[in-house]
Structure 1
């Protein structure tokens, strides 16, 4: 009986220890397919968090919009606790906070190095907005530069006249209207069906998404304008975050900080890899001529001032970045 009592006590202690280390399980919403590099980054982050917390925090990544949350709904879904964590395409959140349109201004930050500089001024504003929307930023990762997929080669601005083209946000609408095209805003989930139906003839998106959508089935031209920067944010609901012990929070923040740089490198590598895939499938990848580049910039720059007037709290961020860049 004494041995049994000892055994019972050991079991009780074991159960108490297990309860003390109770696992936190978070479902993470990602709209991109499993093979997309943002999804792969999220899966790597989830694994690293699980390992760093010794299994205390488990993040289950649900790709392809499996949780029923569309891209433009992602930030609100985290705010409202519909999901504790999500991968959020920031240029689809301007309806929640117009200032989030800063990095999508045409040719504001066309290279990864310029985007990194912009983020020095932009990220504090983003984190302020995230906090006001009941969430915490874990990491930011850019997409490869935004190209223009079209049925015809674009050698001059006039070649875009009347082109029905998918864009993501108001900045894209304004820019392509200035170029004479007919932009239509739509989330990623509607793009391929719209191409198949002929609702749109062109798409502005990255090389990565071009491969995700097998765009070679619809168009044979990709024009590498790199006209718009675009980043994804992974954020966590603050109520869920605050339930974690401070030590666990610090551990997860450290994981995110350590991995973010590699995720940026993954984006750069992704572009080269996916451009090669597009070419293998017969897509003609074309860089703009210097004349076309100058003409595009001429159309883009007035939109910066218009944006600053429309969204006054964006002006200090933009002006500080441009001063540092110049």
Structure 2
């Protein structure tokens, strides 16, 4: 009898150990609307690798690229807020419909080069962090795009040449520039750009060199005008509830990996821009030199856009632009 009792006690003890909670690794899905070879997707993959290494595999981020999860872009603040995905990259100006302060990064012809863009982002970052928190998320890192030029079927050397263009734009400011120069803007997701060019729905695109390479624009377009209409930026955000479930040490490692990657991306963006332009040229795209006269004319014709934006912009955006213009002496 005693022997049987001991036997059952041992079995019960073993069973109790078998149901003890086991420490589980954390796995996040990271959404990217960009194709696998796009610089933003590559950066997100690199971030995931950095995090995995830093945490010894305790936090694993699996990147889903090319918009495979079904999200096209403008709704991504809501998507991350609601935890539909814990992590997503997003075009900052692309989500300005939900948070108007984010439109400040693509005010036309505000930033003239990457150095000025970095200055603008550094000024804006505290305001952006505050806005992200209101949307139940945290900005992990901000990465630049090369400047947005105009890719066309016909050569553009004057504002008059831009009249009548049917141009794909990626945000409100780009659309306003097209309208100001006498064209028609089309707000199309990236996944629909190539087919729209091939069918003649549009005949031009405002975008950066990496995006042009991704889309193989040389198959449907002929010219690239590096107008630097705007210089866009991307941000990678994490749902706050997901982030706060991490222990403090893991959070610190994630933020450290993000800061390191962000610095690397800004250091390399100018070189990447030239590399992507060269690829386009080798495949048949002609880069059209932009004259000072054209830039002066574009600055003049878009002055109303900048003034109208500042008149209706959130106070925080006005403060960002004022501080930026003071620093660059304009």
* Range of TM-score over shorter length: over 0.9
2:100–2:314 Cα contact (<8 Å) kept: no
Q: Alignment partner of 2:40: what SS?
A: helix
Q: After the TM superposition, which residues 199-238 of structure 1 pair with which residues of structure 2 at under 5 Å, given as runs?
A: 199-238=201-240
In the alignment, the residues of structure 2 paired with residue 176 and residue 167 of structure 1 have an alpha-carbon distance, to the nearest angstrom, of 8
In the alignment, the residues of structure 2 paired with residue 267 and residue 75 of structure 1 have an alpha-carbon distance, to the nearest angstrom, of 25
Aligned twin of 1:316: 319
Deviation at 1:278, TM superposition (A): 0.4
Deviations 1:234-284 (A, max 9, x none): 000001011111111111111111111111234323211111110011100
Deviations 1:130-174 (A, max 9, x none): 100010000000111101001111111000101000111111111
Deviations 1:58-114 (A, max 9, x none): 000011111111111222110111000001111210111111110111111121000
Q: Alignment partner for residue 149 of structure 1, among 140, 151, 160?
A: 151
2:106–2:232 Cα contact (<8 Å) kept: yes
Aligned twin of 1:94: 96
In structure 2, stretches of 5+ residues that fail to align are 1-5
Q: Alignment partner of 1:292: what SS?
A: helix
In the alignment, the residues of structure 1 paired with residue 112 and residue 178 of structure 2 have an alpha-carbon distance, to the nearest angstrom, of 16
In the alignment, the residues of structure 2 paired with residue 291 and residue 311 of structure 1 have an alpha-carbon distance, to the nearest angstrom, of 30
Question: What is the alpha-carbon root mean square deviation over aligned residues?
Answer: 1.9
- Number of residue pairs matched by the alignment: 318
In structure 1, stretches of 5+ residues that fail to align are none
Q: Alignment partner of 2:302: what SS?
A: helix
Aligned twin of 1:242: 244
In the alignment, the residues of structure 2 paired with residue 73 and residue 198 of structure 1 have an alpha-carbon distance, to the nearest angstrom, of 28
1:71–1:188 Cα contact (<8 Å) kept: no
**Larger gyration radius, structure 1 or structure 2:** 2
Q: Alignment partner for residue 106 of structure 1, among 103, 108, 111?
A: 108
Aligned twin of 2:3: none
TM-score, structure 2 normalization: 0.92
Q: Alignment partner for residue 56 of structure 2, among 54, 57, 61?
A: 54
TM-score, structure 1 normalization: 0.93
1:37–1:266 Cα contact (<8 Å) kept: no
Aligned twin of 1:124: 126
